[in-house]
């Protein structure tokens, strides 16, 4: 036998062995009795395939084209769920109390977070304390039988598309999620988490990343008209405070268009400025908090687009810290309330004796915003808001290379408005309505740097661009803010170590201290 024949024979044997091994590691749910007819409930068949794969040490559970109805799918370690093109995994509706796995029992610490962060089992896809798992493919996860409310009220009901707790090495990629219930993805205590190229059309929250470490979210399209789109949290849901840290979010789009219109490509907005069944304006947005017991550390967000949604919220309300956060290369358009809301307050929902949180070392840079604020329900909300509370300051904040076009049109009377403290309430921009500034309102801030900022308004404004109240060590450099006739550029109250250089309409100014001054 010639050398070439020996080589070819060896290659044939190799590929035969490889193909057989590959087949052994793929578990087609149809082979275990599942039917993709959109009528049959396949819970037992799907879980049987998962159990077979797990018993063999792991493998891929494969969904071919077709609609597969199911209740709770119980993930196991070393398992990949693969939804092929044309495959639809649909959350079925409970019948006479038969349906999804029952939620966890309430614990002593359930009161420290929203009920949605106390339950995982009553979900379409569920996993606890697992390693090396993936959910992937070009198919669709459709939670059509899921509910959107927090606390299960109906026996056998489910309210999350994917819920994972205390897992390690998790990848979710390429799939689409439609109607995710309360959460399309709820990840709590999940480390080494990657979510990439996922499309989510949510009727409440899209992604909630809670108490997680080493997280990468990239190239995702998210539509969430009535709740948060990308939401980082650090709740007490695990029974102890754990930070969400080492997170990158990049190349993502966030929208607040009508539910379902991301998937069909229409991007419609029948309700224009208000979302149906919501407490306030259309939501969407990227948010840290409000659940914040463990805090947020080392977070980088870049190259993201927001449209017909809310902006960015950073909130520590329950004693956690926010530190070392960067927001860079972001564009926003048609933003329903404020481009950014940074809030340190003291709701303190957590164990007694927890100290008030900390918010420091935050940078917003290279941000472009057009048409922000002035929507139907709260027409006067629009200014950027940076607010601590008495005795607790937001520290070391930099705003650099930012351009914002506000809808504007706020009343002149707002200049003299006494801005409520609201130290212990749920923090959200709509609670303050109009502010004394059309541009950015700063209160209880130390170490503020504002560089290369341009502010404009689209409707008449008589309020100043900036209000600083109890702000210390503040430097403004190369700022071009549109200014209404007779309006000051700055209102300063209880401000120390302030400087303004190359600020439009204001001569270079240095102030050691002032109780109140208008520039």
Q: What is the pLDDT of residues 191-244, one digit of tens each?
A: 999 999 999 999 999 999 999 999 999 999 999 998 999 999 999 999 999 999
3, containing H or E segment: helix 3-24
- Residue of 75, 45, 73 lying closest to 58 (CA atoms): 75
Sign of CA dihedral 277, 279, 285, 288: negative
Q: Which token pair is 251?
A: 């190349």
Examine the pLDDT at 13 and tell me if it is beyond 60: no
The CA distance from 63 to 146, in Å, is: 20
Confidence band (pLDDT; 50, 70, 90) for 152? Answer: low
Give the pLDDT score at 14: 43
| Count of C-beta atoms within a 10 Å radius of residue 472 | 18
Give the pLDDT score at 15: 43
Q: How far apart are the first and last CA of the chain?
A: 94
Q: What is the pLDDT of residues 350-394, one digit of tens each?
A: 999 999 999 999 999 999 999 998 876 666 789 999 999 999 999
Domains and CATH numbers, the chain: 33-518 (2.160.20.10)
Q: What is the pLDDT of residues 76-105, one digit of tens each?
A: 999 999 999 999 999 999 999 999 999 999
CB 160 within 8 A of CB 127: no
Give the pLDDT score at 278: 46
Give the residues across from 248 on adjacent strands.
216, 300
Give the pLDDT score at 430: 87
CA 481 to chain centre: 30
Percent of the chain at pLDDT above 70?
92
Q: Which token pair is 197?
A: 């190229």
The CA distance from 27 to 81, in Å, is: 10
Q: What is the pLDDT of residues 22-74, one digit of tens each?
A: 456 999 999 999 999 999 999 999 999 999 999 999 999 999 999 999 999 99
Give the pLDDT score at 17: 37
Residues 6+ apart with CB under 8 A from 8: none
Length in residues, the chain: 519
Q: What is the 3-state secondary structure (H, E, C) of 300-345?
A: EEEEEEEEEEEEEEEEECCCCEEEEEEEEEEEEEEECCCCEEEEEC
Residues 6+ apart with CB under 8 A from 213: 191, 192, 243, 244, 245, 246
- Supply the DSSP symbol for 54: H
Sign of CA dihedral 316, 192, 286, 122: negative
CB 385 within 8 A of CB 340: yes
The CA distance from 222 to 253, in Å, is: 6
Q: What is the pLDDT of residues 486-503, one digit of tens each?
A: 899 999 999 999 999 999
Q: What is the pLDDT of residues 258-289, one digit of tens each?
A: 999 999 999 998 865 555 444 445 788 999 99
Task: Characterize 45-74 residue by residue with b for buried, 16 or more Cβ atoms within 10 angstroms of its Cβ, and e for exposed.
Answer: bbbbbbbebbeeebbbbbbbebbbbbbbbb
Residues 6+ apart with CB under 8 A from 347: 290, 317, 318, 424, 425, 426, 427
Examine the pLDDT at 137 and tell me if it is beyond 80: yes
- Residue of 356, 221, 226, 222 lying closest to 281 (CA atoms): 226
The CA distance from 469 to 444, in Å, is: 7
Question: Phi and psi at residue 456, in whole multiples of 5°?
Answer: -135, 160
Give the pLDDT score at 175: 98
Region 419-445: mean pLDDT is 94
Examine the pLDDT at 4 and tell me if it is beyond 60: no
- Supply the DSSP symbol for 289: E
Q: Which token pair is 35?
A: 């039917």
């Amino acid at each position: 036998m010639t050398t070439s024949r020996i080589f070819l024979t060896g290659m044939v044997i190799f590929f035969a062995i490889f193909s057989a091994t590959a087949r052994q590691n793929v578990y087609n749910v149809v082979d275990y009795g599942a039917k993709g007819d959109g009528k049959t409930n396949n819970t037992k068949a799907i879980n049987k395939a998962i159990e077979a794969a797990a018993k063999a040490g792991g493998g891929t559970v494969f969904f071919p084209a077709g609609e597969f109805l199911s209740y709770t799918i119980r993930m196991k370690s070393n398992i990949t769920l693969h939804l092929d093109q044309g495959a639809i995994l649909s959350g079925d509706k409970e019948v006479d109390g038969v349906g999804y796995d029952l939620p966890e029992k309430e614990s002593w610490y359930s009161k420290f977070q929203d009920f949605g962060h106390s339950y995982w089992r009553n979900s379409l896809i569920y996993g606890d304390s697992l390693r090396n798992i993936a959910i992937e493919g070009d198919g669709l996860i459709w939670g059509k039988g899921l509910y959107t409310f927090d606390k299960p009220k109906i026996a056998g009901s489910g309210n999350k598309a994917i819920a994972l707790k205390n897992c390690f090495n998790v990848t979710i990629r390429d799939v689409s999620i439609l109607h995710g219930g309360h959460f399309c993805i709820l990840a709590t205590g999940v480390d080494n988490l990657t979510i990439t190229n996922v499309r989510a059309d949510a009727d409440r929250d899209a992604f909630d990343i809670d108490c997680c470490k080493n997280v990468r979210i990239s190239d995702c399209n998210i539509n969430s008209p009535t709740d948060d789109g990308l939401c980082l949290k650090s709740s007490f849901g695990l029974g102890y405070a754990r930070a969400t840290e080492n997170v990158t979010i990049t190349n993502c789009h966030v929208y607040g268009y009508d539910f379902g219109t991301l998937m069909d490509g229409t991007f419609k907005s029948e309700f224009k400025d208000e979302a149906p069944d919501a407490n306030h304006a259309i939501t969407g947005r990227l948010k840290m908090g409000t659940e914040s017991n463990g805090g947020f550390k080392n977070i980088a967000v870049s190259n993201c687009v927001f449209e017909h949604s809310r902006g960015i919220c950073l909130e520590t309300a329950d004693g956690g810290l926010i530190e070392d956060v960067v927001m860079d290369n972001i564009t926003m358009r048609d933003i329903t309330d404020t481009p950014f809301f940074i809030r340190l307050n003291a709701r303190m929902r957590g164990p007694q004796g927890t100290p008030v949180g900390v918010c420091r070392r935050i940078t917003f840079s290279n941000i472009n915003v057009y048409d922000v604020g002035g929507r139907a329900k709260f027409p006067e909300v629009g200014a950027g808001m940076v607010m601590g509370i008495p005795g607790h300051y937001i520290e070391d904040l930099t705003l650099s290379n930012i351009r914002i076009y506000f809808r504007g049109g706020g009343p002149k009377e707002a200049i003299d408005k006494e801005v409520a403290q609201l130290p212990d309430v749920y923090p959200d921009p709509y609670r303050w309505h109009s502010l004394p500034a059309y541009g950015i309102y700063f209160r209880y801030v130390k170490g503020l740097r504002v560089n290369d900022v341009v502010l404009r308004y689209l409707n008449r404004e008589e309020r100043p661009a900036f209000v600083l109240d109890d702000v210390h060590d503040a430097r403004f450099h190369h700022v071009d803010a549109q200014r209404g006739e007779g309006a000051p550029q700055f209102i300063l109250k209880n401000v120390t170590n302030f400087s303004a250089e190359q600020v439009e309409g204001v001569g270079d100014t240095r102030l050691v201290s002032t109780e109140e001054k208008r520039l």
